[in-house]
Amino acid sequence: MKNAILITIGDEILSGNTIDTNSNFIATELKSIGISVKQIFTISDEIEVIKSTLKDAFDLGDLVITTGGLGPTRDDKTKKAFLEFFDDELISDEKTFKHLSDYLISRNRQDLLELNKSQADVLSKAIVFQNDFGTAPCQMIEQNGKLVFSLPGVPYEVKPLIKDKILPYLKEKFELDSIFTRIVSVVNVPESILAERIADWEDHLPSHISLSYLPIGNRVKLRITASGKDFSQLENDVETQIQFLLKIIGENVIATYEDKIEKILGEILTDRKLSISTTESCTGGEISKLITSVSGSSKYFLGGIVTYATQKKIDILKVSKETVAEHTVVSEEVALEMARGGQKLFGTNICLSTTGVAGPSKGEDGKDVGTVFYSIRIHDIEKASHLYLPYMERTDFMNFVAQRILQDLVAMLVQNH
């Protein structure tokens, strides 16, 4: 298996101003074609540091991908480091200049051409991959059978360069095997017990198929990966193994294709022509945001409401004053009434609700921080649940609860099939 080394260049990440999301994206994409990331260096924007890290990376991996340190205002440090490291010279490249010029014209920024034109100067030994979403092109140098790519640092420039240009190039260049992956999501069984139950199946997997466990929330994702020459054969082989697996733990499986819970839900709802709405309090819109982050969600998501103030729960969702007085607003009873009210308001088959205390200060009724009641209503079936997550930060709490309620909903839908 080929190994990649990533080098993230730039002080924004070292200073804590920016989270490095490029490395995660690149690692995931490389894995999909069978290249694993062996190490990541995050370094500052200094020519000597870039050069010495290039040397280490060059020794460690079959290919090296750098991101960042390009662009005219940053003095093109990465380009200078590449020039010195590969003992090369800059040439002005007509094709790259034309691409840059067209790019700026298409965005009505011709005025920037003078400032940016040095970005069309490339290393004489480089292969250039044009950047359709920014001004710095990607350059690649090959030396001693190893490949070194230099990319810009902006995530929305990195993504299409990797996906549309570099991956296809690497696949052909390295004559890589095809890789086929499916993810099976298992709920309501702890990882250790799951491992015991499927140990025998795992032991008998063919050698070109591998398995890994990814626990998330109270779900375990089983990633089944096959590699080989014939893609459609791989698809068949994995499907066969999933069928075996379903015989052993079928009742705990909520999905065998999609990975993300909001996508799994989207497929089920589309499939069964069910509509959904949300009524949130402590999650503040996180659930509707998660549902609508899926393209095509307008087919099943009709709407959601965040009734943050208690009076709005009463006015808009018709939660009864008496219920609030008797049980407090953070209670199972209010969660159930919210979902009932939301189902009516939006006229949906399904409605979800949350009411709780995200913290860090206590709620108006004195319930402990980290307490949440949520309810799931499907037609006229309803179920309320309770979580207590006192150790989580506010935004982590909101996200955890949203993930969990969607997961419970999916489990209910799958089990009542």
Residue ranges in 302-331 that form contacts with a second copy under rule CB under 8 A: 302-309, 311-312, 316
- As a whole number of angstroms, the distance between CA 184 and CA 100 comes to 44
* CA atoms of 385 and 120, how far apart (whole Å): 59
398 is a site residue for a second copy (CB under 8 A): yes
Residues 340-369 that bind a second copy (CB under 8 A): 345-346, 358-361, 364
Contacts (CB under 8 A) with a second copy, residues 46-85: 49
Per-residue binding string, a second copy, 122-161, x by CB under 8 A, is -----------x---------------------xx--x--
Draw the binding track, 258-287, toward a second copy (x: CB under 8 A; -: no contact).
--------------------x-x--xxxxx
The answer to whether 110 contacts a second copy (rule: CB under 8 A) is no
Q: CA-CA distance, 259 to 410, in Å (whole number)?
A: 13
Task: Identify whether the C-beta of residue 361 lies closer than 8 Å to the C-beta of residue 323.
Answer: no
Q: Sign of the CA dihedral 52, 55, 56, 62?
A: positive
| CB closer to a second copy, 8 vs 116 | 8
Distance CA 372, CA 363 (A): 11
Q: Which of 87, 94, 391, 416 binds a second copy (CB under 8 A)?
A: 391
Residue 57 vs 141, nearer CB to a second copy: 57
Q: How far is CA 155 from CA 18, 26, 161, 255, 310, in A?
A: 11, 10, 10, 30, 41
Q: Is 193 a binder of a second copy (CB under 8 A)?
A: no
Residue with tokens 């920014």: 134
Smallest distance, a second copy to C-beta of residue 80, A:
19
Site size for a second copy (CB under 8 A) = 76
Give the integer Cα–Cα distance in Å for 231 and 237: 10
Of 186, 329, 197, the closest CA to residue 264 belongs to: 186
Q: What angle do CA 337, 309, 402 make, to 5 degrees?
A: 65
Is residue 23 within the footprint of a second copy (CB under 8 A)? yes
Q: Which of residues 286-305 bind a second copy (CB under 8 A)?
A: 286-289, 291-293, 295-298, 301-305
Residue 217 interacts with a second copy (CB under 8 A)? no
Residue 18 interacts with a second copy (CB under 8 A): yes or no: yes
